[in-house]
Amino acid sequence: MSLVDSLAERLNAVQERIQAACARSGRRPEDVTLLAVSKNHPAETVAAAVELGLTVFGESKVQEARAKIPLCPARARWHLIGHLQSNKARDAVALFETIESIDSLSLAQEIDRHAAKQARNPKVYLEVNVAGESSKFGWNPDRLQAELAEVNRLPRLEIHGLMTIAPYSTDPEKARPVFRRLRELRDRCSEILGAPLPVLSMGMSGDLEVAIEEGSTIVRVGTALFGPRPRLTRPASSDSDPE
């Protein structure tokens, strides 16, 4: 089967899952964006996905995105979904329309500084470590509420919403309280700002139904669309440059 055919089959299955979750929770499928996580997959895979109508793609690493994005169809729009080191903020601002992984005030300030230099207005989501996992990046919920007004004062950033990654589990129901808490935190943040925060980026291949039932507006799906991720062979020179 060709790349496009097998991708079309998987895309269909993912769209059916999204539609079923929307039907169960009285939501409209057009209110849930499917973001295709293309990390570790080549530009040809992105091109096949664009051919099938997907337009929003997620990458975890600036370095990989820098090599791949120029080879992809210009119609593709790019979200950064992985942790960003401040020394890569300049490239991140140049490459990505949306940065979903803003996880500290200092990173927000760094992004704002580069956005001013490049005359850009990046959309940002604030990443929250809802479950307080030591292995994960993201704002502590209390700290986010304390610092939110200051983030909002950065002139170049457009804060669109919140993002989280639920703790890994084979039981998607375990993620439900995490997703619910992100939604409640979004409501409080929106009150603090006195403005709507429409985006909730939550849900991946294993737990997208639960995320949609809890209000997700963008699900980040890799494996269910593209199959298992091939391991990237990286040039040796990048070994000293972890992201």
Ligand X SMILES: *Cc1c(COP(=O)(O)O)cnc(C)c1O
Which residues are near ligand X by CB under 6 A? Answer: 37, 39, 60, 81-82, 165, 204-206, 220-224
Report the residue number, 27 or 39, with the smaller CB distance to ligand X: 39
d(CA 19, CA 28): 8
User: What angle (nearest 5°) sits at the alpha carbon of residue 174, between those of residues 172 and 178?
Assistant: 105
Other Cβ atoms within 10 Å of 88 Cβ, number: 21
Other Cβ atoms within 10 Å of 229 Cβ, number: 13
CB of 220 to ligand X, least distance (A): 4
Q: Two tokens at 133?
A: 């996992």
Q: Is 137 left (phi over 0), alpha (psi -120 to 50) or beta?
A: beta
Backbone angles phi and psi of 116, in degrees to 5: -65, -45
CB of 82 to ligand X, least distance (A): 6
Do 208 and 29 touch, CB atoms closer than 8 A?
no
CB of 207 to ligand X, least distance (A): 9
Report the residue number, 39 or 156, with the smaller CB distance to ligand X: 39
Report the residue number, 38 or 186, with the smaller CB distance to ligand X: 38
Do 36 and 58 touch, CB atoms closer than 8 A?
yes
Report the residue number, 80 or 157, with the smaller CB distance to ligand X: 80
Q: Which of 203, 182, 195 is nearest to 35 (CA)?
A: 203
d(CA 67, CA 237): 14
CB of 126 to ligand X, least distance (A): 14
Do 106 and 97 touch, CB atoms closer than 8 A?
no
Report the residue number, 11 or 224, with the smaller CB distance to ligand X: 224
Report the residue number, 136 or 188, with the smaller CB distance to ligand X: 136
Determine the residue with CB nearest ligand X. Answer: 222
Give the list of residues 6+ apart from residue 235 with CB closer than 8 angstroms, or none. Answer: none
CB of 149 to ligand X, least distance (A): 26
Report the residue number, 41 or 186, with the smaller CB distance to ligand X: 41
CB of 181 to ligand X, least distance (A): 18
d(CA 109, CA 130): 22
CB of 206 to ligand X, least distance (A): 6
